[in-house]
Amino acid sequence: MDTLLVTGGAGFIGANFIHHVLAGNRWRVVNLDCLTYAGNVDSLAGLDAGRHRLFRADIADGPAVRRLLAEERPAALVHFAAESHVDRSIDDPGAFIRTNVVGTQVLLDAALDYWREGHPDFRFVHVSTDEVYGDLGPDDPPFSETTPYRPSSPYAASKAASDHLVRAWHRTFGLPASITNCSNNYGPRQFPEKLIPLMLLNALEGRELPVYGDGQQRRDWLYVEDHCRAIERVLKHGRPGRTYNVGGNAERSNLDVVHALCDLIDRRRPGNRPRRELIRFVDDRPGHDRRYAIDATRISDELDWQPEVDFETGLARTVDWYLDNEAWWQRIRSGAYRDSAGDSAADPERDGYGGERLGTAGGAGA
């Protein structure tokens, strides 16, 4: 039974990926997660304890990473761990540099030594974002793997730096590493600071829906299960040194997304008035990218992957998951989910993931 080392596996995409691969493969997963505010042990509920082990450590802790590689002897490392919220990167860029840049460099150094020490079939898959490319004009062609990097936010710049490090460790040292750059993910288990879950939960509770600027920022939306399938394809069949863009073929404006959410919730949980009336436009975020779009031709042609879930179906599944799993998000609202992370977890008031943060009119965008 092959072992995967997954970093950031208590986060949104990482947790969904672990559920996906354990359901469809005879693998075991070692999950390395620092359990910062967005790491949620509740998202790992239901996993086979005999095939999943959660190891709490920082990816920037070199000795811990090396010890884990030596003890668990994984066949591959899939690297999700990252600070990922753009608004937070504007408030505190240093945390993003430490985790996304320094943390990735520590992982690469440890993985390189591990690969050289007698694990020639080892693979390293680095999961990144389309935000490294900057933004597009309304008539520009979608991002391809050859689009020059032009990050706008501290978050995007830190991910661009980590991509460059992975590429350099392959080119210079030969480490068998691949990179994926995905469009905006949505689906179950997403922390409620991102656009879709924030608007969904606020709409359920009759609270204001703060939308940045005019709401016409456009994104390509990718259902998280489709993304997990793509990463699995890259892990099994991707070429070392290759970058693969992963998109959902579902370009929508933020306002269109909020409207669709409001209408879905009105049908499932009728209220006293249409939820669209809760929308409030707030000051735009500094440096807010206007449009992203992904050309996923390479992964389609080389690895036979295409998105299977269209946006309307995926959004309906997402709404239904949150309606059916109220205990999951209520524990985030109250801060109780941090109890599972242990006594050394960050303080909820300091990190701002309690109820007040999720309900403020500070705007939301992707």
Residues in Cβ contact with 29 at an 8 Å cutoff, skipping those fewer than 6 apart: 3, 4, 5, 6, 9, 18, 21, 22, 51, 52, 53
Gap between the Cα atoms of 119 and 25, Å rounded = 21
> Given this model, what pLDDT does residue 349 score?
29
> Given this model, what pLDDT does residue 223 score?
98
Q: Is 244 one of the catalytic residues?
A: no
- Residue 290 tokens read as 């206007």
> Given this model, what pLDDT does residue 351 score?
32
Report pTM: 0.92
Sequence spans of domains, the chain: 3-190+222-250+291-309
The 3-state DSSP class for residue 123 equals strand
Residues in Cβ contact with 286 at an 8 Å cutoff, skipping those fewer than 6 apart: 90
> Given this model, what pLDDT does residue 87 score?
87
The catalytically annotated residue of 33, 42, 83, 130 is 130
Neighbouring C-beta atoms of residue 248, cutoff 10 Å: 28
> Given this model, what pLDDT does residue 352 score?
28
> Given this model, what pLDDT does residue 122 score?
98
Per-residue pLDDT in tens (0 to 9) along the chain, 366 residues: 799 999 999 999 999 999 999 999 999 999 999 999 889 999 999 999 999 999 999 999 999 999 999 999 999 999 999 998 888 999 999 999 999 999 999 999 999 999 999 999 999 999 999 999 999 999 999 999 999 999 999 999 999 999 999 999 999 999 999 999 999 999 999 999 899 999 999 999 999 999 999 999 999 999 999 999 999 999 999 999 999 999 999 999 999 999 999 999 999 999 999 999 999 999 998 989 999 999 999 999 999 999 999 999 999 999 999 999 999 999 999 999 988 765 333 332 223 222 222 222 223 334
Closest-CA residue to 130 (of 346, 320, 295): 295
> Given this model, what pLDDT does residue 341 score?
66
- Residue 286 tokens read as 């500094």
Q: % helix / strand / coil in the chain, to the nearest 5?
A: 45, 15, 35
Q: Is 140 one of the catalytic residues?
A: no
Neighbouring C-beta atoms of residue 271, cutoff 10 Å: 15
- Assess contact for 174 and 329: CB atoms under 8 A: no
Class of the CATH domain delimited by 3-190+222-250+291-309: alpha beta
The catalytically annotated residue of 131, 163, 193, 295 is 131
The catalytically annotated residue of 114, 133, 155, 223 is 155
Q: Is 214 one of the catalytic residues?
A: no
Gap between the Cα atoms of 28 and 311, Å rounded = 31
The 3-state DSSP class for residue 7 equals strand
Gap between the Cα atoms of 104 and 126, Å rounded = 9
> Given this model, what pLDDT does residue 1 score?
73
> Given this model, what pLDDT does residue 342 score?
53
CA distances to 129, 139, 151, 169, 294 from 135, rounded to whole Å, are 12, 12, 8, 27, 11
Neighbouring C-beta atoms of residue 229, cutoff 10 Å: 21
